[in-house]
Chains A and B, each alone.
Chain A
Amino acid sequence: MRIIVQPDPFDMGAEATAFTATAKGAGAIVTFTGITRDNAAGDLQAMEIEHYPGMTERALNDMAHQAMTRWQLIDCLVIHRHGRLLPNDPIMMVATAARHRADAFAAAEFLMDYLKSRAPFWKREITASGTDWVAPRDEDEAALKRW
């Protein structure tokens, strides 16, 4: 289990390769990478992500432990960036390893749903006309109910 919270970019291919290399006995690796998306107007200059140092790591660790307990996982990885990101930059990544794909997919979805609404990160969009905090989406909160 690895939890990484950092401002620096990461190489999702290299991370997936390294994760796979140590996941002994795995028959399935699921990876998800979240990318900085342009806004509806198409004028996003940057995204700034604020977080709560200390609580962020605790919350992510707790989510990863829950995932390891609820599904037959061999390993999991969570990487989340903070600070200033540009459009198309990878923001975060989740990887899960299991003997079979159902566990790997379900655990990855669980981790993503929890990351969206229960890890202390706040996104702010920076455009030519100013800055705006990203509003939470009702769908993201509703998604937690299935777990």
Chain B
Amino acid sequence: MIDILYFAWVRERIGLPRERLETNAATVADLIAELSAHEDRYAAAFADLSALRVAVDQELSDFNAPLTGVREIAIFPPMTGG
């Protein structure tokens, strides 16, 4: 099981702040493809990967990151702090 968190407009498009899923996806990119194929709201949120950032177990990472042993991933737009 893996926890997936969504923030900002990604959260709004998907309609959930977080969910827990069972997946056989090998990487973050595979998981995104799996979700996008499953439902339109995911396809809409993940349509442009260049507009998304990913964190794996609360560390900034990339779409090729493997999911083996990972507990939590987060998908969100570029950050706008400060």
Contacts and interface: CB of A to CB of B under 8 A. Distances in A.
Interface of A: 34, 49-50, 52, 54-55, 58-59, 80, 91-92, 112, 115-124, 133-136, 140-141
Given A50-B8, A55-B74, A121 B79 contact: yes
A116 B79 CA distance: 7
Interface of B: 5, 7-9, 55, 58-60, 74, 76-82
Name, among A34, A55, A80, A92, the residue most crowded by chain B CB atoms within 10 Å (CB to CB). Answer: A55
A118 B76 contact: no
B82 A136 contact: no
A133 B81 contact: no
A55 B81 contact: no
A21 to B, nearest CB: 26
Contacts of B9: 133
Contacts of B77: 122, 133, 136
Given A52-B55, A52-B74, A118 B60 contact: yes
Q: Is the interface of A mostly helix, strand, loop or mixed?
A: mixed
Contacts of A123: 80-81
Given A50-B7, A122-B7, A133-B9, A55 B82 contact: no
15 contacts: A34-B82, A52-B7, A112-B82, A117-B81, A119-B81, A119-B82, A121-B80, A121-B82, A122-B79, A133-B9, A133-B80, A135-B80, A136-B79, A140-B82, A141-B78
Nearest to A60: B81
B59 to A, nearest CB: 8
B51 to A, nearest CB: 9
Contacts of A116: 79-82
A80 B81 contact: yes
A131 to B, nearest CB: 10
A55 B55 contact: yes
A25 to B, nearest CB: 29
A116 B77 CA distance: 13
